[in-house]
């Protein structure tokens, strides 16, 4: 399995993460924060499935742009996967003919922009040789994390979450778990804000990864750009041997 955290910035050296999108094996995107700003329309059109963890803007910001970029390049059209809550919010609040045209219904000359597919919590789907299990986590809007498995490796991407339980129980059953991309949004000094917004600090990150019984690589993501140096320092002082800071634009091969 090849997985990369898509850069947020058009400056290629920039490691600041403003947005969230992962690209898996070129054909599957997990979240659409930056996938529509990635390289060229033709490269974006290789993505056949987009899974949306939740509808916060940093996870869907580039979805309209992505769909416009690949229109007419992608046949059959891309499928957007999300929970019922996610799909309903996309229709009501984004593709509502005010913020953006209703790409869900529009089909110029019979060509659709997208198909929708509903994710059910705990029910795995099979996509391009991968088994992907959506698992609810604890964030301020309905949010699904993902366990992604092929025949050699499993990767856990809990997405945005405060302290949570179920996803760790599921991860502990994945014998081939190789990596966890876990958020560490705020510095420890902002624990109050992390609690209200249901995100993690390095201290909370530490408590979460202790729920994992398997020796996977721990890759910190979703680090608030303004506090990046402080958060990275606090993460590194946790004494976790298998901890790394996820490198944007780098392809992890698992």
CB count in 10 Å sphere of residue 155: 29
In angstroms, the CA 189 to CA 165 distance is: 24
Interface segment toward Zn ion; rule CB under 5 A; list 85-93, 126-134, 157-165, 202-210: 157-165
Q: How many CA atoms lie within 13 A of 202 on its CB side?
A: 22
Mode of pairing for the β-strands spanning 217-221 and 177-183: parallel
Q: Which is nearer to Zn ion, 49 or 56 (CB)?
A: 56
Cα distance between residue 158 and residue 220, in whole Å: 11
Give the integer Cα–Cα distance in Å for 235 and 219. 10
Q: How far is the CB of 57 from Zn ion (least distance, A)?
A: 8
Q: Which is nearer to Zn ion, 32 or 154 (CB)?
A: 32
Q: How far is the CB of 226 from Zn ion (least distance, A)?
A: 15
Residue 138 sits in the site that holds Zn ion (CB under 5 A): no
The residue among 178 and 222 lying less far from Zn ion, judged by its C-beta, is 222
Ranges within 159-178 binding Zn ion (CB under 5 A): 160
Containing H/E element for 147?
Answer: strand 144-149
Least spacing, CB of residue 170 vs Zn ion, in Å: 20
Cβ atoms of 82 and 62 within 8 Å: the answer is no
Positions 2 through 61 that interact with Zn ion (CB under 5 A): 56, 58
Nearer to Zn ion, 149 or 160 (CB): 160
Residue 56 CB coordination number (10 Å): 19
Question: Considering the rule CB under 5 A, would residue 199 count as an interface residue with Zn ion?
Answer: no
* Contact flag: residue 208 with Zn ion (CB under 5 A): no
Do the Cβ atoms of 171 and 65 come closer than 8 Å?
Answer: no
Q: Provide, rounded to whole angstroms, the least separation between the CB of residue 253 and Zn ion.
A: 25
Span of 1-9, 72-80, 149-157, 158-166 interacting with Zn ion by CB under 5 A:
158-166
CA 31 – CA 59 distance, rounded (Å): 5
Number of residues counted as binding Zn ion (CB under 5 A): 3
Q: Which is nearer to Zn ion, 56 or 178 (CB)?
A: 56
Interface contacts to Zn ion, rule CB under 5 A = 56, 58, 160
């Amino acid at each position: 399995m090849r997985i990369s955290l898509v850069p947020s910035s058009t400056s290629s050296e920039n490691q600041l993460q403003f947005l969230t999108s992962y690209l898996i094996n070129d054909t599957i995107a997990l979240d659409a924060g930056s996938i529509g700003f990635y390289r060229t329309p033709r490269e974006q059109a290789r993505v056949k499935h987009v899974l949306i963890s939740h509808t916060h803007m940093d996870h869907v910001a580039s979805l309209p742009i992505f769909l416009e970029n690949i229109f007419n390049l992608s046949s059959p059209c891309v499928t957007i996967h999300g929970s019922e809550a996610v799909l309903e919010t996309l229709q009501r609040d984004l593709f509502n003919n005010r913020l953006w045209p209703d790409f869900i219904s529009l089909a110029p000359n019979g060509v659709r922009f997208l198909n929708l597919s509903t994710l059910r919590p705990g029910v795995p789907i099979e996509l391009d040789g991968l088994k992907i299990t959506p698992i609810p986590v604890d964030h301020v809007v309905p949010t699904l994390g993902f366990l992604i498995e092929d025949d050699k490796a499993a990767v856990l991407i809990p997405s945005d979450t405060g302290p949570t339980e179920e996803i760790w129980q599921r991860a502990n059953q994945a014998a081939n778990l190789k990596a966890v991309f876990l958020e560490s949004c705020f510095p420890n000094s902002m624990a109050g804000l992390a609690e209200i917004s249901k995100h993690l600090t390095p201290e909370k990150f530490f408590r979460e990864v202790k729920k994992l019984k398997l020796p996977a690589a721990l890759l910190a993501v979703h680090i608030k750009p303004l506090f990046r140096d402080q958060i990275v320092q606090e993460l590194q002082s946790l004494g976790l041997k298998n901890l790394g800071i996820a490198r944007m634009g780098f392809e992890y091969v698992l």
